[in-house]
Amino acid sequence: MAFSTYIDLEKAITDFNKNHKRPHGDIYLTELRDISKEDHASWPSNENPGVYVFLDSHKNITYIGKASFDNCIGGRLNSRFDTKWNSKKPESEGCNYITTIALPKELAFEAPAIEEFLLKELTTRSNRVGNS
């Protein structure tokens, strides 16, 4: 099975912005962070709710997750990595890159919808949708 790539992710975000207009504007990916070259964790979009995406060394998507409501992206990443970017969960194993879609706190409720849209459009290594 071929997994979706970073380029596929960018295309999905473009499609989302074109076909699902939000009254407060488009969503954007943060800069792709190469955690294989980082000594210590500095979580992208630390305090924000939103969506985070893990990619392997070939920039294939391995996992898509969300932080919504009383959660923040930093908190979710903290549950998956230690401060030296060592994996703590199976879905973060083999992760070399991270990008996020940060949302303002008052729009945290949008994170599950964005995550589900991306999971519908993209194929990842670790996500399971429905009863599979």
130 within some domain = no
126 within some domain = no
In a 3-state reduction of DSSP, which class is residue 52?
Answer: strand
The domain total for the chain is 1
- Give residue 65's domain range: 6-121
pLDDT tens digits, residue range 15-70? 999 999 999 999 999 999 999 898 777 777 889 999 999 999 999 999 999 999 88
Query: What pLDDT, on a 0 to 100 scale, did the predictor assign at position 131?
Result: 45
The model carries a pTM of: 0.94
In a 3-state reduction of DSSP, which class is residue 54?
Answer: strand
Query: What pLDDT, on a 0 to 100 scale, did the predictor assign at position 130?
Result: 58
Where on the phi/psi map is residue 130: left (φ > 0), alpha (ψ -120 to 50), or beta? left
CATH number at residue 49: 3.40.1440.10
Average pLDDT, the chain: 93
57 within some domain = yes
Asked if pLDDT for residue 111 goes beyond 90, the answer is yes
